[in-house]
């Protein structure tokens, strides 16, 4: 009679999570990925997924946007429900609360593939995230929020930051897909926490862009050369993303929208919407946001002046020329 001895080693929780992440990463392979919303950001994000070897199923109200993705190998759909039923993952990148809610209602009206994971990368109210999650869960599928930061240039370069809300298991399942579009994939907590992080980030972004615009304008009006002052501020304590990577003064940051009459990029309409969402959650949590509220008012004024379709860095032109308005 032979004696067989088997040694087992206890696996810690951390080690177990590492194994799950490793297995998820290895298993991702080529997936059927649905992508709804091929705008300034979404078009680049979908293109990067194609480059990573995924089969893309796309939908957008813009025929030109769909045509561009079709030329890269994507399959274009006229019905979001058909797109969803043929996708392992569905990513939505849409403008606002109403459009997101309507899209998920239409997409799942006739049921869902219960193996599909839905990922919303729009910027919406955290309460709406939780509402959609319950709605999708009731149909037997999974939903997480994963808004992004990094702008159009980050979307094009696949260096976006994703802020994910959901369970850790869902995060680990989605992470390999998100890594095809971004560099930093961060788990923020339960449903809606990704949006909570995004709204706070975008409020900070709006405040810093206004501050950068004010400082650049003041320096130039005193006679300082714009490039000289930009170099100074970017090696000093005032440095921030708005001065370094997205300077609002033409001729300083070559790839910034200000060099193209503030076209493209992240629109004033969208930053105003995001500031409104931030104001809503601030009220709900009884949180003072004096600078966030002022930034919201400034961008609402830009919208009223007909600048809603311009990149949000157009606030520099507004401040520079405000005395003549």
Give the residue carrying structure tokens 């959901």.
166
Q: How many Å apart are CA 165 and CA 189, to the nearest integer?
A: 5
Q: Measured between alpha carbons, how far is 83 from 272 in angstroms, rounded to an integer?
A: 31
| CB-based contact 106:81 (threshold 8 Å) | yes
Reduced 3-state DSSP string for 250-264: CCCCCCCHHHHCCCC
Give the C-alpha separation, 121 to 164, whole Å: 9
Residues 6+ apart with CB under 8 A from 278: 199, 200, 202, 203, 289, 292, 296
**CA pair distance 93, 43, nearest whole angstrom:** 9
Q: 3-state class of 61 per DSSP?
A: coil
Selecting among 31, 85, 175, 198, the annotated active-site residue is: 198
Q: Record the tokens describing residue 140, joined without a space.
A: 């037997």
- Those residues with Cβ within 8 angstroms of residue 164's Cβ, 6 or more apart along the chain or in another chain: 144, 145, 146, 171, 174, 175, 178, 185, 186, 187, 188, 194
* Catalytic (active site) residue 198: yes
Q: Is the Cβ–Cβ distance between 152 and 43 less than 8 Å?
A: no
Map tokens 């520099």 to a residue: 316
Burial per residue of 231-242, b for 16 or more beta-carbon CB atoms within 10 angstroms, e otherwise: eebeeeeeebbb
Cite the active site residues: 198
């Amino acid at each position: 009679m032979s004696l067989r001895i088997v040694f087992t080693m206890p696996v810690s929780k951390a080690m177990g999570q590492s194994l799950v992440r490793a297995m998820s990463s290895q298993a991702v392979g080529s997936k059927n990925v649905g992508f709804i919303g091929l705008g300034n950001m979404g078009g680049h994000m979908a293109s990067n997924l194609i480059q990573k070897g995924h089969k893309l199923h796309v939908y957008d109200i813009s025929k030109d946007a769909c045509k561009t993705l079709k030329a890269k190998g994507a399959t274009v759909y006229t019905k979001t429900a058909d797109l969803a039923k043929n996708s392992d993952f569905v990513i939505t990148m849409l403008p606002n609360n109403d459009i997101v809610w309507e899209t998920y209602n239409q997409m799942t009206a006739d049921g869902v593939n219960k193996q599909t994971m839905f990922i919303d990368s729009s910027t919406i109210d955290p309460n709406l995230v939780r509402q959609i999650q319950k709605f999708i869960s009731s149909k037997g599928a999974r939903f997480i929020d994963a808004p992004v930061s990094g702008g159009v240039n980050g979307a094009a370069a696949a260096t976006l930051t994703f802020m994910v809300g959901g369970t850790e298991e869902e995060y680990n399942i989605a992470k390999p897909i998100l890594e095809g579009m971004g560099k930093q994939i961060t788990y923020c907590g339960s449903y809606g926490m990704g949006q909570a992080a995004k709204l706070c980030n975008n409020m900070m972004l709006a405040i810093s862009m206004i501050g950068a615009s004010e400082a650049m304008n003041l320096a130039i009006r005193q006679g300082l050369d714009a490039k000289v002052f930009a170099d100074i501020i970017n090696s000093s304590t005032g440095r921030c993303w708005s001065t370094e990577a997205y300077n609002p003064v033409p001729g300083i940051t070559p790839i910034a929208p200000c060099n193209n009459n503030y076209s493209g990029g992240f629109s004033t309409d969208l930053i105003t919407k995001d500031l409104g969402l931030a104001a809503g959650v601030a009220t709900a949590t009884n949180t003072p946001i004096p600078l966030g509220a002022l930034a919201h008012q400034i961008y609402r004024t830009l919208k009223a002046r007909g600048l809603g379709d311009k990149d949000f860095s157009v606030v520099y032109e507004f401040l520079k020329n405000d005395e003549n308005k």
